[in-house]
Amino acid sequence: MKLTGAQIMMKVLKEEGVEIIFGYPGGVVIDIYDEMERTDIRHVLVRQEACAVHAADGYARAGNRVGVCLVTSGPGATNTVTGIASAYMDSIPVVIFTGQVPTHLIGNDAFQEVDTVGITRPITKHNYLVKRTEDLAKIIKEAFYLASSGRPGPVLVDIPKDVSVNQIDYKPLEKVKLKSYSPTYSPNVKQLHQVVKMIKKAKKPIIFAGGGVILSRAANELTELARKTQIPLTTSLMGLGGFPGSDPLWLGMVGMHGTYRSNMSIGECDLLFGIGVRFDDRVTGRIDAFAPNAKIIHIDIDPTSIRKNIPVTVPIVGDCKVTLAHLNKLLDKEDLGDLKKTRKQWFDQIEHWQSTKPLAYEQKDVIKPQFVVEKLYELTKGDAIITTEVGQNQMWAAQYYHYDRPNHFITSGGLGCMGFGLPAAIGAQLACPDKLVVDIAGDGSIQMNIQEMATVAQCNLPIKVVILNNGYLGMVRQWQQLFFDKRYASTCMEHAPDFVKLAEAYGAVGLRATKPEEVEPLLKEGLFSKKAVIMDFVVEKEECVYPMIPAGAAATEMLLV
């Protein structure tokens, strides 16, 4: 059976279960687009190529599958770099297809030629330049396997024009096997026996869970472990939703803007159980003061992440879900006694930290951004998929909205990419069409990719955008307020658009609140609309996110007001 490269590509994508591709067409991928039109694969036209990757990222997270995007060569490919870097740092399974000039022109500075493989090599799990049509099917299958296995991540496939046009005799391929790539899923059982002993002995233990728990779909196993062992639990930003935020064992998020009790608990604990985390700088603060009294257990499927930033007592290489399932079975055979009673002093101390330094704000005459997020949580009962932009809006969404389920908090954690939330919401809404999807944004970050409202309109998506509008680039302004004597250099967002009129220009509903008493009725009106809605909340201009660990400080040295 003779097929063109474009036909082979569509055939293999169908075999991989692809239903939606996010993208933007161009000359060298026009044959692929023409062939896609003949299939039932849905193409979602974004308005800028980075948003194709962000949307595929949101789709992958909300839908627990591989996200796919397709763009043209040159500027189409280079525009994806920010989206790829964000997916790479958050370990999100995305396959990016880029067009390339014909193979005989590569290296000749042809029109819209760039070295896409070279540019993206540092920010992909792996990438390919397809040189022959005969290799295309095998490479695509490898790309999906690599993106979704082990520690997930983005994989890029660069397809020259002639590779997509040429015809070859096509034969279906068998399952992918890569001799040089074999992730370790099952842990060393001897190490797990050591962990059991450490758990039973610990007087002040803490579990610290991260995005790896969600990526490995281990939320149930993590919850079982925490409740079985009665160990209080905190998560990183990426781990939110991996453990129920309404559970009594929940301490809140840890790190630079984590809760007082979670950061103090890590500072005082004698056992720190890290699960699917990287121990990045936003969590640890000053490394020599991080968990100074604790023995540290670290579970991660990526061996290069263990001991990379923090010394570890017991390193365990393995998939979080598989490893925790093994550990829970071992614990079932143990007489754990009444651990909560044994650790009463520890629980009392944690309760004291919570009662004396809770997350708090005072709502008076001007709308507080925290108040908006709390009301959003009350009205949705925590049953919405929340995407965020990056900055203060992101931190308030992490602090004041409580996540009981995995894959309900979608944010750019490692890269901290402004403009992420709206395209990610598009992907999440398409993955979960029956769910309420809300993008919590700032007035600065929403303008990074506001053009994607056209994609929202074209796809008729009922996405809700909640803008916490303070007239500043809020997080940078906060640092300028605290450490630069309020010299607000280039952080004032003057001449911002009228977001209500802008919403209407895109065919959406635009709403605005300027007083605290308007917040709840406006949220009700916006959330229960069947159309896309932009809700503009004019909030306190100089509100800061607290707690805050200053740069170079220990995690226990927080600014609280």
Where helices occur in 206-337 by DSSP H, the ranges are: 211-215, 219-229, 260-268, 281-284, 320-332
- Which segments of 37-105 does DSSP mark as H helices, in order? 49-63, 75-78, 81-89
Q: How many CA atoms, within 13 angstroms, populate the side-chain half-sphere of residue 187?
A: 28
Structural tokens at position 399: 């602090």
Asked about 161 being catalytic, the answer comes back as yes
- Catalytic entry in 9, 35, 48, 161: 161
Structure tokens at 406: 């995995």
Q: Got the DSSP string for 231-268?
A: --EEE-GGGTTSS-TTSTTEEEE-STT--HHHHHHHHH
Catalytic, out of 198, 253, 395, 475: 475
Residues 157, 143: contact at Cβ < 8 Å? yes
Residue 294 to residue 205: CA distance in whole angstroms: 8
Pick the catalytic residue from 14, 111, 334, 345.
111
* Nearest by Cα to 422 from 506, 337, 321, 482: 506
Q: Which 3-state string (H, E, C) describes 374-386?
A: HHHHHHHCCCCEE
Q: What is the DSSP letter of 303?
A: G
List phi, psi (to 5°) of 100. -140, 155
Annotation marks residue 111 as catalytic: yes
- 523 SS3 class: helix
- Output the CA–CA distances (angstroms, integers) from residue 340 to 201, 242, 263, 274, 344, in the order listed: 13, 22, 21, 20, 6
Please give the C-alpha separations between residue 438 and each of 287, 376, 535, in angstroms, as whole numbers: 35, 9, 10
List the one residue out of 131, 128, 160, 123 whose CA is nearest residue 142: 128
> Choosing from 112, 194, 349, 451, which is the catalytic residue?
112
Active site residue 112: yes
Q: Give, in order, the Cα–Cα distances in Å from 1 to each of 4, 8, 45, 165, 235.
A: 10, 11, 31, 15, 52
User: Which sequence positions are flagged as catalytic?
Assistant: 49, 111-112, 161, 475
